[in-house]
């Protein structure tokens, strides 16, 4: 199995670790890390990667139990994340390389129904590097014999510097309980805040599809076709996690509990053989007066 892939443009360098959850090991503008970055040759855990795919769901499924169509499905909970299942299964499994060149890579992953997720699916990731931009596409096809809930997203960790500022527009924020599960939705315009003193771990809906991170070195723009974004950082973290996702945290269980519709929660149901795709891009520029 391919241990790593290197994509490079005149400006950016991206290393991918297919065997470690199809993750991005690192993304650099010149020698400046954009994401939390480790050379792929020395990356030993996906938990330290720069970014990884979220498939077939994002964030948490409460208490490791998926309730769907009136049936409870106990899910495997990754070590260290008790009591919830988290981030799907794709980030914990190896991906295969279907195509690779200097600026493009295509990976695939096939999942058979198991105790981690009870519905079979195929997934693919495409990575395209051009100039100052990395473009990503994530797709899933339901290979089970029944209609299945699905979700997609990404979990990039951007380097947080002393003067990092985050800005984006949204319409709502899902408040979190002590158990890290959403409790209720409140109106929110998004964020426009310095990250040094920011303490946030929330899913925002009505996201306008663009988020800006700025500091003395870089101006990074994250864009996505998805309309939910999870933002996570606090004083103890040296990163800002910016996660474009297709649904609210614990959305499938919230739908089964009632009180919110599938469209409000972002729950997508795929019929057998049907597919869903999402796009994200990361564009990186030198900040004014920044030096290589």
Instruction: Out of 203-207, 215-219, 243-247, 285-289, pick the least confident.
Output: 285-289
d(CA 56, CA 20): 17
CA distances from 144 to 113, 121, 173, 236, 237 (A): 8, 7, 33, 42, 39
Using the predicted structure, report yes or no on whether residue 291 has a pLDDT greater than 90: no
The first and second tokens of residue 53, run together, are 């795919």
- What pLDDT score was predicted for residue 129? 98
The radius of gyration of the chain from alpha carbons, rounded to an integer in Å, stands at 18
d(CA 153, CA 73): 22
Average pLDDT over residues 163-167: 98
Tell me which H or E stretch contains 134. strand 133-142
Q: Where are the alpha helices (DSSP H) in 43-95?
A: none
Q: Give 7's strand partners.
A: 14
- What pLDDT score was predicted for residue 292? 42
Q: Which residues contact 32 (CB under 8 A, 6 or more apart)?
A: 217, 218, 292
d(CA 141, CA 274): 6
DSSP track, 167-214: EEE-SEEEEE-TTSSEEEEEE--EEEEESTT--EEEEEES--SEEEEE
Please answer whether residues 139 and 151 qualify as being in contact, where contact means their C-beta atoms are separated by less than 8 angstroms.
no
Q: Which residues contact 288 (CB under 8 A, 6 or more apart)?
A: none
Q: At 233, phi and psi to the nearest 5?
A: -165, 160
Using the predicted structure, report yes or no on whether residue 1 has a pLDDT greater than 60: no
Please answer whether residues 249 and 181 qualify as being in contact, where contact means their C-beta atoms are separated by less than 8 angstroms.
yes
Which tens digit of pLDDT belongs to each residue from 211-248? 999 999 999 999 999 999 999 999 999 999 999 999 99
Banded model confidence at residue 196, pLDDT cuts 50, 70, 90:
very high
The first and second tokens of residue 74, run together, are 């106990």
- Give the domain 5-286 fold: Beta-galactosidase; Chain A, domain 5 (2.70.98)
- Mean residue pLDDT of the chain comes to 95
Average pLDDT over residues 160-169: 98
Using the predicted structure, report yes or no on whether residue 290 has a pLDDT greater than 60: no
Which tens digit of pLDDT belongs to each residue from 59-98? 999 999 999 988 999 999 988 888 999 999 999 999 999 9
Average pLDDT over residues 193-207: 97
Using the predicted structure, report yes or no on whether residue 133 has a pLDDT greater than 70: yes
- What pLDDT score was predicted for residue 2? 60
């Amino acid at each position: 199995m391919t241990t790593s892939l290197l994509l490079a443009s005149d400006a950016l360098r991206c290393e991918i670790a297919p065997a470690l959850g199809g993750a991005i090991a690192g993304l650099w503008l010149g020698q400046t890390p954009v994401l939390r970055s480790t050379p792929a040759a020395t990356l030993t855990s996906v938990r330290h990667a720069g970014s990884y795919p979220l498939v077939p769901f994002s964030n948490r499924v409460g208490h490791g139990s998926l309730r769907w169509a009136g049936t409870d499905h106990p899910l495997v909970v990754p070590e260290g994340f008790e009591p919830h299942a988290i981030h799907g299964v794709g980030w914990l499994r190896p991906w295969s390389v279907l195509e690779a060149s200097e600026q493009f890579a295509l990976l695939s992953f096939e999942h058979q129904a198991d105790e981690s997720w009870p519905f079979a699916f195929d997934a693919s990731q495409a990575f395209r590097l051009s100039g100052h931009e990395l473009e990503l596409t994530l797709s899933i096809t339901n290979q089970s014999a029944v209609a299945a809930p699905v979700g997609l997203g990404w979990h990039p960790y951007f380097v947080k510097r002393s003067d990092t500022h985050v800005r984006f527009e949204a319409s709502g924020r899902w408040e979190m309980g002590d158990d890290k599960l959403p409790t209720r939705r409140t109106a929110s315009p998004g964020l426009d805040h310095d990250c040094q003193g920011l303490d946030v771990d929330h899913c925002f809906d009505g996201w306008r599809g663009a988020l800006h991170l700025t500091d003395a070195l870089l101006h990074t723009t994250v864009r996505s076709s998805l309309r939910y974004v999870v933002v996570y950082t606090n004083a103890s973290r040296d990163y800002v996690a910016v996660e474009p996702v297709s649904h609210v945290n614990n959305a499938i269980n919230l739908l089964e509990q009632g009180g919110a519709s599938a469209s409000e929660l972002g729950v997508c149901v795929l019929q057998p053989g049907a597919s869903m795709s999402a796009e994200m891009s990361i564009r990186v520029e030198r900040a004014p007066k920044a030096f290589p």
